[in-house]
Structure 1
């Protein structure tokens, strides 16, 4: 095979064992209440494999979120460096790397979850492709591999078939496989787009929406879904199921992080402030305001409460005024004079 084949085998062989071992464990569990040779039990095993892998990648995902946030927050400083050292590419590169180091930012950290999943993705693709031919990989014996590769979801959709091999121009066209594969390809494409769009629209400050980093994000927003969509027609149903499930996990995980720990100065941060304030009002920890007016405990705005009125003096009679007396007082004393 050559040196490249040996390197590939060295990398992929442990993945074959890991993937097949996890899937077999899930399959044994689902076989307790589903048909062991049915496609549904194997499909759920692929979903279980996805969940295990994504749980293991949570620390990398947290690192990715922090790195993406730092990249957003340092964009104003990065633009200042471009203005200052734009004429000197070497100096600009040195100052930019220093900025990354000082802020604890790794520009490649955002790619780590995807890069680490790609070998797993291709290993699963290879396991499925070989299983359809009865060739086992890892812990899958040839018999179990054939059972896995030829299993059918709902009894009509082979888990190892692809959209391309089931199209009308193929030797064995299958409409049901085409429909399910197309749904999964569109779901994979849509979830990839929405996940990236969610990050840009909710968790990026206004200053970070311009500049080279923002342009890079906008390009990826459209390029990645198109790439996955075009390549998805050649992926087996089982691989499409894995990738779509992984995208749904990413979307939910990212939604949770953005909602509860948003980057400062973003729409998500403003929304969190409003939610926290509403909760505090509900608990009675802060007074509620309506258009800047404090709401009192009685439910009426403080501005509507009338100030305490000064008590008016009682009306005096003419005799009292003539004598210079006050209400409730005794008769006025006469001036002392001569007899």
Structure 2
């Protein structure tokens, strides 16, 4: 490892020494402020150099957003076949040149610098010269304390080693625990902000599942492995987490993902300031909806007395009488139907009576 990353050890140590020389003009060269600010400045320099990768990450996120309709169609088509769904998703990524893991590019790019800084501080803790850090700088770095904890000690170090550097084990563990908690919280909040504000939640994609996994995995990793990080490395990682959080908040506010909550909020802010020109079609649709709403006739609400009156038996009889009055033709039709029935019955009775009445016997004619 030292052979492969040796040149990187030299580069990292050289950058720290240059910043230390600058801050020694303001603070004591053996102070934690001089060495701690040197590490913070190293983080800022690395993150500035990684801005092109961050821009590439944003573009990749936009490409993923543009693929949302096609991805949704694939999900609907192969809803019951998860394996085929994954195959079609991978095929779509390959055809469009989209990499769903591009969000990890800044983290992967930082890894060599993180490992190199870890090894440089580890050499300082062991009293070994590394890179451009000579014996004088080595002794100065070993004396540097941040909030009572030496830069080169870890949470798991024994009391004798900590006391040899002029500190107590309690101070070291309190400082390391606080920094590990801050690291984990900042990482969790960064991922959660990305998931809740800057992602279109209408479509579930492997990208979203990946981000959701990172939201829980990274804080746990920091909590587990942080106890083995020197205090200087914790300073480095906490600083880069804060930088990432601020950078992401800036991007989400100024250039959010279309279809996300942050995008809707930005549209509302621009509309309130009068800087957003609405689509003419949307304006016409809103006007049409308002006109239709205004022309819609609402049923009139009856007074309580009328509602109670309508529920009584007298009201039912009165309503029946009114219905009959309102339809005189119906009454005439009913009366007309009744009269023919009576007349027809009497005529039939008369005719039957005539047929059934006594008849005179016929006398035989005399021959």
Normalised TM-score (structure 1): 0.73
Q: CA deviation at 1:98?
A: 4.4
Give 5+ residue unaligned stretches, structure 2: 277-285, 288-367
Deviations 1:26-61 (A, max 9, x none): 111110010011121000100000000000001111
Which residue of structure 2 aligns with residue 230 of structure 1?
224
Secondary structure at the counterpart of residue 153 of structure 2: coil
Q: Cα–Cα, structure 1 residues 46 and 234, in superposed 2: closer, same or farther, change >3 Å?
A: same
User: Contact 1:164–1:233 at 8 Å: present in 2 too?
Assistant: yes
- As a proportion of its length, which structure holds more helix? 2
Deviations 1:184-237 (A, max 9, x none): 1011000110110111111111224x2433233222211111111111111111
210-219 or 126-135, which moves further after superposition? 210-219
Residues 1:205 and 2:200 are matched in the alignment: yes
Aligned-partner Cα distance in 2 for 1:144–1:279: 55
77-86 or 211-220, which moves further after superposition? 77-86
Which residue of structure 2 aligns with residue 22 of structure 1?
15
Residues 1:142 and 2:125 are matched in the alignment: no
Q: Cα–Cα, structure 1 residues 268 and 112, in superposed 2: closer, same or farther, change >3 Å?
A: same
Q: How does 1:1-339 map to 2 (within 5 A)?
A: 8-84=1-77, 93=87, 95-154=88-147, 156-165=148-157, 174-208=169-203, 210-280=204-274
Deviations 1:151-200 (A, max 9, x none): 2225x3211111222689x9996111111111110110001101101111
Q: CA deviation at 1:132?
A: 1.8
Secondary structure at the counterpart of residue 157 of structure 2: helix
Q: Cα–Cα, structure 1 residues 14 and 90, in superposed 2: closer, same or farther, change >3 Å?
A: farther
Q: Cα–Cα, structure 1 residues 106 and 273, in superposed 2: closer, same or farther, change >3 Å?
A: same
Aligned-partner Cα distance in 1 for 2:197–2:85: 34
User: Contact 1:81–1:92 at 8 Å: present in 2 too?
Assistant: no
Q: CA deviation at 1:91?
A: 9.2
Secondary structure at the counterpart of residue 259 of structure 2: coil
Deviations 1:244-270 (A, max 9, x none): 000000011111111111111111111
Aligned-partner Cα distance in 2 for 1:33–1:171: 28
Which residue of structure 2 aligns with residue 4 of structure 1?
none
Which residue of structure 2 aligns with residue 5 of structure 1?
none
Q: Cα–Cα, structure 1 residues 211 and 107, in superposed 2: closer, same or farther, change >3 Å?
A: closer
Aligned-partner Cα distance in 1 for 2:64–2:275: 35
CA RMSD of aligned residues (A): 2.9
| Number of equivalent positions | 275
Q: Cα–Cα, structure 1 residues 53 and 99, in superposed 2: closer, same or farther, change >3 Å?
A: same
Q: Cα–Cα, structure 1 residues 157 and 87, in superposed 2: closer, same or farther, change >3 Å?
A: closer
Aligned-partner Cα distance in 2 for 1:194–1:128: 28
Which residue of structure 2 aligns with residue 288 of structure 1?
none
Aligned-partner Cα distance in 2 for 1:68–1:166: 46
Aligned-partner Cα distance in 2 for 1:71–1:89: 20
Q: Cα–Cα, structure 1 residues 82 and 270, in superposed 2: closer, same or farther, change >3 Å?
A: closer
User: Contact 2:100–2:207 at 8 Å: present in 1 too?
Assistant: no
